[in-house]
Structure 1
Amino acid sequence: MDVYKPLGLALLVLLGLCSQYALRNKGAALDSRPNSAASGWATFSWPFAAEPGEGPRRTLLQDVENDKHADEVVKQLIARLNASRLAPLPSKPEERCALTRGTWCLQYHLQAPVPRFPPPYFDKPCPNDCNGVGNCNYEHGMCYCPAGWGGPDCSQPRKRPCHHMGSDKRDAGWHNLTAWSHTRCAGVCDDDVAMCYCPADTKYGHREAPPGAKPGAPPEQRGRPLFMCTPGTDKDGKKVEWGGTPYEDIFGPEGWCNADKPKFTCPCRLDGLLGLTCTEVVEQTCINQCSGHGECNQGFCKCHAGWYGVDCGLRRAGALPQVGDQWTTKPWIEPTLTHTVATEDPPLTPTRRRPYIYVYDMKSDFGTDLMQYRIEGSHCLYRSFTRANQSSFVGYNAYAAEPVLHELFLTSEHRTLDPEEADFFYVPVNVGCLFDVYGWNEIPRWPRGLLGPRTHGATMMQREAMRWLNATFPHFARRGGRDHIWMHPHDEGACYVWKEMWPGVMLSHWGRMDFPHASNTAYGQDNYSLPLHHASHPGDWRDHTSLTHPCFDPKKDLVVPAFKQPQLYNKSPFLGAPVKERDIFAFFIGDLRMEPGRDPPCRYSRCIRQRLYNISRDQHWKEAHGVLFGERKDIGNDASYSELLARSKFCFVLPGDGWSPRWEDAVLHGCIPVVIMDDVQVVFESLVDVSLFSLRIAESELPRVVDVLKAVSDQRLAEMQAHLAKVWHRYRYMGLRMLDDSARSLMWGYRADAGGKAPRTPGSEYSTSRQDDAFATILQWLYHRIPEVHGTQGSREGAAAAGAGALVEAIGAVSDGAGVAAA
């Protein structure tokens, strides 16, 4: 949008000049006019006036006072335009690298751009056209199959039966197994994904495609969902141990499966179904919404002819460019689509920068299967479609950085489609999504048939993904996996990854440093310190995982921000919200788990939250110091979470079962973070000098917390707040269409409320910009790591990737005043 600002300014000036002529009330003469000096009139000659000897000369007489008034109008228009614009963003490398540690940031900005070329195209055919149900990856000639189908050509059944399902896809006996399961079905099962529907013999039952229909044909009638909607009795009134709803409410004449307006309703749950009776069909959610070149089926993109890739964003060699569905049949998906830079042909920008990232299309078992198995529509997503196909952010998904980073890597200007030139390889394995569905059904489980802790299942899935990569492509073995990037969104991050994966780049939200280490979670299914023996791995799994490496190595790994969409920090002054008086001295609101029997060993949060809560009551923090600490019932409902953060001077950053997004909450609202968790690095602590805008208090000092905060002078507090305004943008994700639009909408709303004046709060210049955001910070750091990962330190390639070391050192030497911290 910035390219239009000079044009807009010019048009406003032109309008102002034209207003001079509109203000004229004394006319103009063609060839006779009064003496200008005597009349007080100025003379204006038209630029297209006739040359001497060509006839009468057309002139315009201007009133001097009107002329002054018109000039003032123009000045006011220009002033209003300038007032509506945000302050300029930093442009010099040393300014953009404010408060960073070392030279990673400067190295990135000082690298010499290289020419960008059109993308490569591929046309390697797939067997049997993937049976018409899968997608052919024309780069490798491999079929990628949706749930329900498998084999080299997607022709072999690959089922996920409902729990205790019989051969007729009905339950094998309501009374011969009393155990409940998420996917136990009282109706008929869609055994591609273990989804339950009303049976075919009811009015709104599920009726499959007729015999002889082509593979993947839709059902004759989808039917009403019955997922986790189970009867408490059979038709004879006998109790069903695993159900709870009266039989007639589901299967009776006025029940859910038969009545047009049933007296009882089951939840829709499934992505794409809304309304009281689940008849309102809306768009389902897929990665980058299939780029407008495919149909979304519960997370699997079935690509249109000539297109392929997990997001249908790649064009087959020889296929003609096509207008996407967002411009033809599905205009509602347009607000969700992010432009993919790597596929531009011709490139829209002449140059590019390293690092070059190759993004794998992972086998469905590790990616889209998890999306199709999730059933609960909001699981595993950061956005979805609501009524009338309005796009909306999902309320909360703790692991949402997983789909966000996948879309960002796919659409980034740093993506390369040529693996031979890649500096790094991104491996999108949906381990966060696995946590949402693990244990709901016998599938997916790794290894098959074993229901261990979720952490064990996630590790085994990642191990199988690594082995598949190694068996299918040559890239992992080339550098022993050091150049492969893995995302670990779980509560305890990368603490328990398989040891052969550990040399890679681990992105997580958990920067725990101590080794040896043991799990701190209070949730048994996530305890990675539980011993487990299985034939798939010799001995105890811990001997291959958590006992062999730390959770985080700052030399090769990175603690990245959790995902926060702009509405979650909508009261932040950095987004343009009116500046609030910070009348709350210190603040924390969150889960304490202090109910009797909920967490007897007090493992949750290392017992930090619980101990601080008790101390806050004993020392009367609220009454004596204006500290708000507790759960929502303790704080009250008078203000939103975002408003409370924006009113606080200090905000506590405390662990949960592992990481907790309290650092992001504080930073994004301009609240000084107070970190209390020993031996744990916070987000980007290895890259940014966080000591300049945060405080760290040892766990042993909990009784002295308020004294420590009271000792911070007003001057130091102001300095820390000023530093925070220079780096807050590194802790939020931008660059995806919905994120950019949401941030702009918020800022524009606040600007309108202020009479058209843009915010001038320090830091607000970044409110609508993706410059140096969280994803950009990750990429800049990755560029710095190229020589080490490639083993080229000291070589010509290493020197180039290091960004002309002598120049970097020279700038670093003079940048201290600009806020570049020493390593």
Structure 2
Amino acid sequence: EAAVAAVAGGAQSRGQTATSLSHAPASRLRLEVKNASRRDEQASAATVGLPLPAPRPPSRVYLAHLDYMAKYPSTGPENPRSVRSAWLSKSVRQSDKQSRDDELGAMLLQAGWREADAPVGLQVPGADVAAPILTGNAWHWGRGRCPEACARNGGVCLPELGRCDCPRNRWGPSCEVLVQPAVARPERFHGWCVYNDSSPWFCDKPICTHDSPKSVSLRTSPSADLHASRCLGAPVSECEHNCSYHGVCTANGGTRRCKCFPGYRGAACELATVAHCVHNCFGRGQCDEGFCKCKPPYFGVDCSLVPSPNQQQSSLLGTIDSPLRRAADCVAPCVYVYELPARMNVLALKAEPQFGFFVHGPADYRAFKAMHLSLLRSPHRTADPARASYFYVPTWDFHGSWGNPELYWRAHRYVRTHWPFWNASGGADHIWTVTRDAAACATPWGSLWEPLNSSIVLSNWGAVTGLGGVPTERCFDARRDLVVPGVLHPSKVKLSPFLPFFAKSNGSHAAAAAADTAGLWEKRKTLLFFHGSICWQTYDRVHSMEELRRKCARKHGFIDHYSFGVRYEVYRRFKDEPRFLLRATEFIPPPPSLNLDQAMLTSVFCLCPSGTGWGMRAFHAAVLGCIPVVVQDDGSGTYPSVLQAFEGLLLDWDEFSVRLRFDQLPSLPRLLRALESDEAAMRAKRLALARAATR
């Protein structure tokens, strides 16, 4: 809800800034954004019901970003300060004079992308075209043409496009082919295994059956060549109960045994381990390793949609029929959530159906899941594109720190060629969530400039620089993008000293701030706490400070500016400072075992530097009542400091954190002790922290 409010309250005004005011003086930019933000924050608060703060001017860091974008309005390849993505990768770059087309071609090839992997498909309703067509990692028959066999074989039809989405272990135009999914094979751990429409057997491999004992063939379209692949194992019918269609029938002499896919066990793979589906399919279908096998007429990623009347002529996605929201009308601003093919989100190659959506281990890179689920049940959601102010593209990108960008290229091509809404706005009203370390900034694996240059990006990294400490294509643009918090594990949130006050006050953020007078700060004896790696590579171990110095001086190409050097500078200066608990994890022997949550709960301040990009420390510290000390700039003054979550529009981080520049680090102990001794200033910080943490 906060993200929708912030987008509505700021992105519209920033969108105006990006178009009509892109060459305006910085002073005019400030005035326009200030006035528009105040108006839209008030409107959003009334619409969404959020207890937004009183209108205020954008923060100083936000204004610094606007100043920077006024001087360098493009984050694309034509910007002289934006390093070309090919500069970052010797494997891609051929010469200084390489054309942009050649550069893109090299990146696409490196990512496993082919133009043939995204045919236009069936765009015109009722068109007299041959079908089915494999495009966007799903089979399309055309509006109203999805065969009944799709549902019989465990698939789900999207009426709007006549698309048949298949579960993990099924493939083919009607999900008629049993396959061993890529998640059961080693290549899922390598970058070259991506779903390729032009090569239907590139990742998933067919399983031998009685009808196809040696090989299986498919056409990606009626006019395409036949794609044949040897099938795996003995015919599955020769194994007990056909391995429940969840395993390969292996032959060892005259013995037949089932080799089960991940998520299944038992002699006949008849036992499924616990898997999690979006909203548990609302009880309208079977959860199959993250995929909702909806019972007709329901469809959608969570079975929350039913076909609209006159679906053949309607432009509606369907009608929302969700137990979480019965109202037919959406609350403005309305957001249309695309129903992408399942292999772009819930069945992505590294999907994690074994983990609950907010209870899994690597939660810090999973904001894309949280955003998707929240929008599906939000009162802002609409299935009528005519009512939508924004369009959300729900890709699930499990690469974490960085990796292959092909998922975004595929989703962009799919949305642009199967629906008219992208082309109507040039993508300016489309929203993506990118949770990689440096968000959408280009990396050696490729650039996201082409698919995302005109859209709104929700990310955890608010910097104009990428992994190498320099601007790269499609880094953060404060005029349209928004920084959102990471997904903090519920076990951490439950420890927050603010929650009891928040709960007793029926969700009042102001009342939660009463924790300041409840004696919760008396046990905080550590002045400054930090635990983590000091330099890249994080897993390289050292025995002494001299080895650490050499490690931190080592060059790593595109990632030479790990934490902007802040971690090393603080550690080398103050590792022995009284009341400073600074723990470097790369030392041998490592620091003694410590409960990090309890360490934060007993610390006054927590150091929150960046790493390869964004990190969870700032959110973790704030929730546990430890005042974040944010130092996220390189000290050169060339680029603005990293913008934090919701900063500039909904939150002012200067109120509840300690924001320092790199050149202030030598004075860090003096500054913190001076602040700690100022009772009025500390009370103000803690009151602001309580309000912000519970929001």
Task: Specify the TM-score bucket, using the shorter chain as the normaliser.
Answer: 0.5 to 0.7
Shift of residue 309 of structure 1?
A: 0.7
Q: Percent identity?
A: 25
- Range moving further from structure 2, 103-112 or 150-159: 150-159
CA RMSD of aligned residues (A): 4.7
Shift of residue 659 of structure 1?
A: 0.5
Q: Residue 720 in 1 paired to residue 685 in 2?
A: yes
Shift of residue 351 of structure 1?
A: 7.1
Whole-angstrom distance in 1 between the partners of 2:389 and 2:350: 33
Please name the residue that 1:562 is paired with.
486
The correspondence of residues 578-657 of structure 1 with structure 2, limited to 5 A, is 579=520, 581-592=523-534, 593=538, 595-596=541-542, 600-601=554-555, 603-617=561-575, 620-621=576-577, 624-631=578-585, 636-638=592-594, 640-657=595-612
Q: Residue 478 in 1 paired to residue 424 in 2?
A: yes
Query: What are the Cα deviations for residues 661-715 of structure 1, in whole angstroms up to 9, with x where unaligned?
Result: 1110121112211111112111111221111111111123322211221221232
Q: Residue 374 in 1 paired to residue 395 in 2?
A: no
Task: Quickly say closer, same or farther: Cα 1:635–1:354, change in 2 above 3 A.
Answer: farther
Task: Quickly say closer, same or farther: Cα 1:225–1:141, change in 2 above 3 A.
Answer: closer
Whole-angstrom distance in 2 between the partners of 1:397 and 1:279: 30
Shift of residue 195 of structure 1?
A: 11
Paired residues of 1:587 and 1:627 also in contact (CA < 8 A)? yes
Other structure's SS at 2:243 match: coil
Task: Quickly say closer, same or farther: Cα 1:101–1:128, change in 2 above 3 A.
Answer: closer
Please name the residue that 2:361 is paired with.
395
Whole-angstrom distance in 2 between the partners of 1:162 and 1:708: 51
The correspondence of residues 245-394 of structure 1 with structure 2, limited to 5 A, is 270-271=262-263, 281-316=272-307, 342-343=320-321, 348=326, 353-370=331-348, 373-374=349-350, 378=354, 381-383=355-357, 393-394=359-360
Please name the residue that 2:5 is paired with.
none
Please name the residue that 1:682 is paired with.
644
Whole-angstrom distance in 2 between the partners of 1:518 and 1:408: 28
Larger radius of gyration: 1
The correspondence of residues 781-800 of structure 1 with structure 2, limited to 5 A, is none
Please name the residue that 1:469 is paired with.
415
Paired residues of 1:300 and 1:368 also in contact (CA < 8 A)? yes
Other structure's SS at 1:653 match: strand
**TM-score normalised over the length of structure 2:** 0.59
Count the aligned residue pairs: 476
Query: What are the Cα deviations for residues 138-179 of structure 1, in whole angstroms up to 9, with x where unaligned?
Result: 2333222334655654457887679999xxxxx9xxxxxxxx
Whole-angstrom distance in 2 between the partners of 1:112 and 1:358: 17
* Runs of 4+ displaced beyond 6 Å: 156-159, 161-165, 180-184, 223-226, 277-280
Task: Quickly say closer, same or farther: Cα 1:586–1:103, change in 2 above 3 A.
Answer: farther
Q: Residue 126 in 1 paired to residue 89 in 2?
A: no
Other structure's SS at 1:308 match: coil
Please name the residue that 1:672 is paired with.
627
Q: Which amino acid aligns with 2:687?
A: A
Whole-angstrom distance in 1 between the partners of 2:183 and 2:438: 31
Whole-angstrom distance in 2 between the partners of 1:141 and 1:711: 66
Task: Quickly say closer, same or farther: Cα 1:269–1:663, change in 2 above 3 A.
Answer: farther
Task: Quickly say closer, same or farther: Cα 1:470–1:157, change in 2 above 3 A.
Answer: farther
Runs of at least 5 residues in structure 1 that lack an aligned partner in the other structure? 1-92, 94-99, 114-122, 166-170, 172-179, 185-189, 227-250, 260-265, 320-339, 384-391, 437-453, 522-528, 530-545, 731-823
Other structure's SS at 2:372 match: helix
Paired residues of 2:432 and 2:458 also in contact (CA < 8 A)? yes
Whole-angstrom distance in 1 between the partners of 2:184 and 2:298: 36
Task: Quickly say closer, same or farther: Cα 1:299–1:663, change in 2 above 3 A.
Answer: same
Task: Quickly say closer, same or farther: Cα 1:562–1:726, change in 2 above 3 A.
Answer: same
Of 38, 53, 77, which residue of structure 2 is paired with 1:102? 38
Q: Residue 210 in 1 paired to residue 237 in 2?
A: yes
Paired residues of 2:181 and 2:204 also in contact (CA < 8 A)? yes
Paired residues of 1:628 and 1:635 also in contact (CA < 8 A)? no
Whole-angstrom distance in 1 between the partners of 2:323 and 2:679: 55
Shift of residue 591 of structure 1?
A: 2.6
Q: Which amino acid aligns with 2:165?
A: Y
Task: Quickly say closer, same or farther: Cα 1:182–1:427, change in 2 above 3 A.
Answer: closer
Task: Quickly say closer, same or farther: Cα 1:649–1:344, change in 2 above 3 A.
Answer: same
Paired residues of 1:508 and 1:560 also in contact (CA < 8 A)? yes
Q: Which amino acid aligns with 2:416?
A: N
Query: What are the Cα deviations for residues 318-376 of structure 1, in whole angstroms up to 9, with x where unaligned?
Result: 89xxxxxxxxxxxxxxxxxxxx9942599756975311111111123422431xx3387
Shift of residue 503 of structure 1?
A: 1.4
Please name the residue that 1:506 is paired with.
457
Whole-angstrom distance in 1 between the partners of 2:653 and 2:383: 36
Whole-angstrom distance in 2 between the partners of 1:376 and 1:698: 39
Query: What are the Cα deviations for residues 536-586 of structure 1, in whole angstroms up to 9, with x where unaligned?
Result: xxxxxxxxxx7544x111221100000013211332211239935221111
Whole-angstrom distance in 2 between the partners of 1:130 and 1:706: 69
Q: Which amino acid aligns with 1:579?
A: L
Other structure's SS at 2:605 match: strand
Whole-angstrom distance in 1 between the partners of 2:530 and 2:690: 21
Of 116, 121, 135, which residue of structure 1 is paired with 2:156? 135
Shift of residue 461 of structure 1?
A: 2.4
The correspondence of residues 423-462 of structure 1 with structure 2, limited to 5 A, is 423-430=389-396, 432-435=397-400, 455=403, 457-458=404-405, 460-462=406-408
**TM-score normalised over the length of structure 1:** 0.50
